[in-house]
Amino acid sequence: MLCGQWMVEFYAPWCPSCQYFTSIWNDFAKEMISKEIKVAAVDINDYPSLSGRFRISVLPTIYYVRDGVFRQFNGERTLSGLKNYIELQEWQRTDPVSSFAAPNSLPMSIISSIFDVSVLVKDAYTILQDTYGWPPWLIYIFFTVVVIFVGLVLGFGVLMIIDYCVTGTVKDDINNLADDAKDVEDLDDNDSQKILKPKTAPSSVPKLIASSTPQRKTKSNISSSATQIQDDEALLDEILGDDNDDSEGLNTSDIAQATDEDEQTPNVVIRQRRINK
């Protein structure tokens, strides 16, 4: 139908206007054989999904299709009116159906699928009632359970799809948080090491710190630094000499006292023996 030229009628057997229009439509189909225009008639009872795709609300309804462009015929429903619409190109005065509402659009395809489902439910109802003898109330309960089950399956599927689409960013955030936690742990370890590191006692001997930047030394600076070093060495020798004198004095007195005690000990022992005798 999307290629070439088509004139399509939608009718129903129970429609009186359709029954009256049947003879006119058959004559028009014979007239259009030589003009390479295809003429068709669609029973909406046999093809409900197709009637839903074309949004049939009035019977009979006629569509003119030219290379996939749909136009609804609104002229006189007579043989002359149909012929003039094609031969005199009166179809150019008719605005085409919008792309959104066209029968080959996605929304109309969805509507057609809904009509197919409704026909399937109707056929299932007829089979359960006529063939298996189910009462109407049991059939309604069965359909309700089926609808709930299908809804749960569809809802669970949608949730799974959403979860699958969102989990990628959540995992990335979790990885970033893990990296941040590792950085914090490293900082804590460094801080604890700094706290536990023993502090070195300050040395009494002055240290000469070499500067990384080159500096110019004058003779006065060199002589003053040498004099200061000599004074420090003399002071250090004096302190060490005093310490040695004190230690020597203490050692000689202790030794003399120890020798006196050693000399007194034998005399006391001899006297004690004489008394005992």
Q: 236-255: per-residue pLDDT in tens?
A: 666 666 555 545 444 444 44
Tell whether 14 is covered by a domain.
yes
**Burial class of residue 6 in the structure, from the number of CB atoms within 10 Å of its CB (0-12 exposed, 13-18 middle, 19+ buried):** middle
Tell whether 182 is covered by a domain.
no
Write down the residue that tokens 């900082």 correspond to: 187
Least trusted range by pLDDT, from 1-10, 33-42, 213-222: 213-222
Q: Exposure pattern of 64-91 as b/e (b: 16+ CB <10 Å)?
A: bbeeeebbebebebeeeebbebbeeeeb
Interacting residues of 71 by C-beta distance below 8 A, sequence separation 6+: 63, 64, 65, 91, 94, 95, 96, 97
- Is residue 114 within 8 Å of 52, Cβ to Cβ? yes
Look at phi and psi of residue 110 and say left if phi exceeds 0, alpha if psi is from -120 to 50, else beta.
Answer: alpha
Tell whether 253 is covered by a domain.
no
Q: Give the C-alpha separation, 52 to 50, whole Å.
A: 5
Tell whether 18 is covered by a domain.
yes
Other CB atoms within 10 Å distance of the CB of residue 43 = 15
- The DSSP secondary structure of 13-82, one letter per residue, reads TT-HHHHHHHHHHHHHHHHTTTTT-EEEEEETTT-HHHHHHTT--SSSEEEEEETTEEEE--S--SHHHH
Number of continuous H segments (helices) and E segments (strands) in the chain: 6, 4
- Report pTM: 0.51
Tell whether 127 is covered by a domain.
no
pLDDT band at residue 210 under the 50/70/90 scheme: very low
State yes or no: pLDDT of 83 exceeds 80.
yes
18 given a catalytic annotation: yes
Tell whether 11 is covered by a domain.
yes
15 given a catalytic annotation: yes
Options 7, 9, 10, 18, the catalytic residue:
18
Structural domains counted in the chain: 1
* Domain that includes residue 94, residue range: 5-98
Tell whether 184 is covered by a domain.
no
Q: What pLDDT shows up at residue 243? A: 52
pLDDT band at residue 263 under the 50/70/90 scheme: low
Token pair belonging to 129: 């009632």
Options 12, 15, 59, 102, the catalytic residue:
15
CATH of the domain at 69: 3.40.30.10
